[in-house]
Structure 1
């Protein structure tokens, strides 16, 4: 179990809505870095893992995660619940998730506002939703089921999108706000996703941020993106988690912190993985911004 001495230099304000993570920077825990983390014990606020990578009874992943969990707070990030799917949630998947949460007692659990399954078919992607009353009711029912089953609050992550449905009757921020109001879940604010989606749809990222229920933010994600052009020659950003955090995303993150104050912040990197020292430097950059963060009057 976590002890006070294992939290390192934790910010004195340690609680956030639907999250018990310290208001510091953390990193995604990668298998390539298990031994380095245990050997050096870097001064980080927390580590985050993808839940689906640990849905087995034993093995080396659990061995190392158990050791690291004794030293650091843990954020558990789901990628397979398919919260937005038309079909019912996979009860077996949800049961495995409940066992994982019972085993590691994470300070935070999060999932995506997206879908990835249709009937028995599972797609290895996070697909967008139509934002209408029918989808809203379905998403809220699924989140209620998740929170009731897990006996644990969840954070809902805003998606990165590349297309939108014409049948949507509300914008994304309004949809998210209504979900949080109805279910009591928190918000995982992915600042990179905000920037990617707003550039792709030619919207103002800061206006989107200001339309969200920022009081519900329990964790923030920062990541890098890839850049391309669409069929019309317009700028197209891809949320690929394969590059350092872009300067534009750092700037938007600063504007977020002006509104929220310090919030637990994860540096995401899933592709083109660099040396641990490179990721740690980005986490230190976020930590410095968190230390300086002030809420505007």
Structure 2
């Protein structure tokens, strides 16, 4: 079954007891795959308990889908074991790379959008979906530089990956706003060109602003409330897609549960408005 078209939150153990006391506050939870690749213990026990009341999304950060080299077979095997154990409703990864040979760079790094990169990523997505036996979602990145070698727009590049592999897309609206501000393009125009018909999940998060002499640099920090311009872009996007599962990401400077729940509540209000408008 797919994720429900309602808000979810990135699960942090600090909020475990409060989520259990009010399971209806959010409809799904999302975890980073790499945090649950151990053999057992409290993390898996908490995830089992939460999955009894909530849909589950597993979000990978370590496959290095965009890497030039082959996928890490051991990492993919651990991921397969994790998904077989918890049977999540969704699995997603990033349009990025994070490893080169034996070196692990612990970041989500950007790619040139070329024919060669497209072939590599499509091969990797096919391998992942075959190994896991499930359709995956691929997330658009937040970027801080671009490549003169690129011959594809990011939106067309993602469209081609989805068309060739059958994967779905995860639309991170904050990433769109961050990249648009950093590179000086129009975020609404980007969304207009995005293959919205392939989107199965949306992410929302906060960002930091670093003042530089040449202008502000936005950092996708996941450490603040969702900014008002991002909420506006989100409302515009779901008015065209209809209600979609929407995750509130908050990974750093973690707030108290009521603050995170209020962010999810704001997303629910927007989704409810879209449902109401479509019913009229």
Q: TM (normalized to structure 1)?
A: 0.91
Q: Does 1:233 align with 2:214?
A: yes
Is this contact kept in 2: 1:28–1:49, CA < 8 A? yes
Alignment partner, residue 173 of structure 2: 191
Contact 2:19 2:25 (8 Å CA) reproduced: no
Match of 1:67 among 24, 31, 49: 49
Instruction: Please state if 1:85 is matched with 2:31.
Output: no
Could you list the per-position Cα deviations for residues 64-101 of structure 1 after superposition, in whole angstroms to 9, with x for gaps in the alignment?
A: 11111111100000000000001100011111111111
Query: Residue 28 of structure 2 aligns with which residue?
Result: 46
| Aligned-pair CA distance for 1:295 | 5.7
- Structure with the higher helix share, 1 or 2: 2
Match of 1:272 among 250, 253, 270: 253
Task: Tell me, in whole angstroms, the C-alpha distance in 1 between the residues paired with 2:114 and 2:256.
Answer: 43
CA contact (8 A) 1:259 1:295 kept: no
Task: Assess if the C-alpha contact under 8 Å between 2:23 and 2:54 holds in 1.
Answer: no
1:219 equivalent to 2:206? Answer: no
Q: Is the 8 A contact 2:169 2:198 kept in 1?
A: yes
Q: Distance in 2 between matches of 1:36 and 1:247?
A: 27
SS in 2 for 1:138: helix
- What secondary structure, in the 3-state scheme, does the structure 2 residue paired with 1:111 have? strand
Matched residues in 2 for 1:89 and 1:260: separation?
33
- Partner in structure 2 of residue 289 of structure 1: 270
Q: CA deviation at 1:52?
A: 0.3
Q: What is the distance in 2 between the residues matched to 1:41 and 1:191?
A: 26
Structure 1 unmatched ranges of 5 or more: 1-14
Picking from 225, 232, 244, the partner of 1:244 is 225
Instruction: Tell me how large the CA RMSD over aligned residues is.
Output: 1.4
Corresponding residue for 1:119? 101
Distance 1:277 1:160 in 2: 27
After the TM superposition, which residues 50-199 of structure 1 pair with which residues of structure 2 at under 5 Å, given as runs?
A: 50-199=32-181
Query: Is the contact made by 1:189 and 1:220 (CA closer than 8 Å) also made in structure 2?
Result: yes
Gap runs ≥5 in structure 2: none
Q: Secondary structure in 1 aligned to 2:105?
A: strand
Q: In terms of mean alpha carbon deviation, does 69-78 or 36-45 score higher?
A: 36-45
TM-score, scaled to structure 2? 0.97
Write the distance in 1 (CA, Å) between the matches of 2:25 and 2:16: 15
Alignment size in residue pairs? 278
Cα shift at 1:259: 1.0
The Cα offsets for residues 51-71 of structure 1, whole Å up to 9 and x where unpaired, read as: 000001101111111111111
For the residue of structure 2 that corresponds to 1:248, the secondary structure is helix
